[in-house]
């Protein structure tokens, strides 16, 4: 899970000052000789992060090391980003947006203790900014501290009543606590707010749909899962759970299509292939079932390597 979090973490980091345009401005204003600055601009434009590191790694000064940390993060090189931020922080305290990026890099590498320390520092400095509290709640959820997560997320919502992520993660926390009525209420609010966004996320309707699927409310679940796929047609997990809904309603041909879509859209996702194999068996399509189960076993083996 943690290895796949980077994509989801980029959005909040971009909101806090690590947008490509902002990073380009930082490069243009970097205290470097003109030839090095131009080389850095070309490397960033070409996503040549090895060259970026070669240019900046040995440069003294907190500002350049913090810039290197931000660039390494955007390039997905978390260890190198953390090292650069630490070098910068040792000279002078990081700016808030860089400290937040450091915290996200630590999350990506599974260092919950280190990330919590950085986020706590930011939250104490800015108690009125919900994003730091939200990510502390995410850490609580990841460590199964659901009561603590709920407490923080309720504070997030008080600070930002339109927080889609706040309500969505509140629903997830209630769900893990077995409080299904409360979870449905939180997910419903998340979906409502999400629809008002310029670019709605597929996660709130997916999470609500998945809960309804487990509550055997198949018709309602299907509606929310299809809504998720309207926002992101390539959302493999939504295809998989939609397939489960359709299979439960004896719409097997449609379920097969959804399982096949899920398996093709995410080559690491094994579960749709198991469901597909079982459904093929039910219809005496033994050759196809054997192929699906073989691919399922292959993916499962790869996931534990």
Task: List pLDDT tens digits, range 121-175.
Answer: 999 999 999 999 999 999 999 999 999 999 999 999 999 999 999 999 999 999 9
Residue 193 has a CB neighbour count (10 Å cut-off) of 19
- Evaluate whether the domain defined by 234-305 bears CATH number 3.30.450.20: no
Provide the pLDDT confidence category of residue 16 given band limits of 50, 70 and 90: low
* DSSP summary character for residue 27: H
In CATH terms, are 1-126 and 234-305 the same topology?
Answer: yes
Residue 59: per-residue pLDDT = 84
CB neighbours of 93 closer than 8 A, spacing ≥ 6? 99
Burial 230-263 (b: 16+ CB within 10 A, else e): ebeeebbbbbbbbbbbbbeeebeeebbebbbbbb
Per-residue pLDDT of 71-80, as tens digits, reads: 999 999 999 9
Q: Which of 151, 192, 195 is nearest to 174 (CA)?
A: 151
Residue found by looking up tokens 């339109």 in the block: 162
Per-residue pLDDT of 172-184, as tens digits, reads: 999 999 999 999 9
- Evaluate whether the domain defined by 1-126 bears CATH number 1.10.8.640: no
Residue 2: per-residue pLDDT = 33
Provide the pLDDT confidence category of residue 304 given band limits of 50, 70 and 90: confident
Residue 22: per-residue pLDDT = 83
Residue 305: per-residue pLDDT = 66
The ranges assigned to domains in the chain are 1-126, 234-305
Measured in degrees and rounded to the nearest 5, phi and psi for residue 247 equal: -65, -40
Q: What tokens appear for 31 in the block?
A: 């205290």
Residue 1: per-residue pLDDT = 36
Does residue 218 have a pLDDT over 90?
Answer: yes
């Amino acid at each position: 899970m943690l290895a796949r979090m980077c994509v989801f973490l980029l959005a909040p980091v971009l909101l806090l000052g690590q947008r490509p345009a902002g990073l380009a401005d930082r490069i243009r204003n970097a205290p470097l000789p003109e030839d090095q600055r131009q080389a850095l601009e070309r490397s960033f434009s070409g996503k040549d992060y090895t060259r970026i590191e070669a240019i900046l790694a040995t440069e003294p000064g907190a500002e350049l090391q913090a810039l290197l940390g931000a660039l390494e993060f955007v390039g997905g090189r978390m260890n190198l980003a953390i090292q650069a931020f630490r070098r910068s922080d040792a000279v002078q305290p990081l700016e808030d947006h860089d400290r937040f990026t450091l915290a996200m890099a630590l999350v990506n590498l599974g260092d919950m203790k280190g990330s919590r320390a950085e986020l706590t520092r930011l939250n104490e400095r800015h108690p009125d900014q919900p994003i730091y509290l939200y990510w502390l709640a995410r850490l609580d959820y990841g460590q199964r501290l659901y009561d603590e997560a709920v407490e923080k997320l309720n504070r997030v919502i008080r600070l930002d009543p339109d927080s889609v992520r706040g309500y969505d993660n509140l629903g997830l926390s209630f769900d893990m606590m077995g409080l299904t009525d409360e979870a449905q209420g939180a997910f419903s609010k998340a979906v409502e707010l999400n629809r008002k966004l310029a670019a709605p996320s597929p996660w709130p309707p997916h999470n609500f749909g998945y809960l309804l699927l487990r509550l055997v409310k198949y018709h309602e679940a299907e509606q929310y899962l299809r809504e998720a796929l309207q926002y992101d047609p390539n959302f493999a997990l939504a295809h998989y759970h939609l397939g489960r809904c359709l299979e439960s309603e004896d719409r097997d041909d449609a379920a097969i299509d959804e399982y096949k879509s899920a398996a093709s859209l995410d080559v690491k996702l094994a579960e749709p292939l198991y469901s597909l194999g079982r459904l093929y068996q039910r219809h005496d399509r033994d050759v196809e079932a054997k192929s699906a189960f073989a691919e399922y076993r292959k993916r499962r083996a790869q996931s534990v390597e």
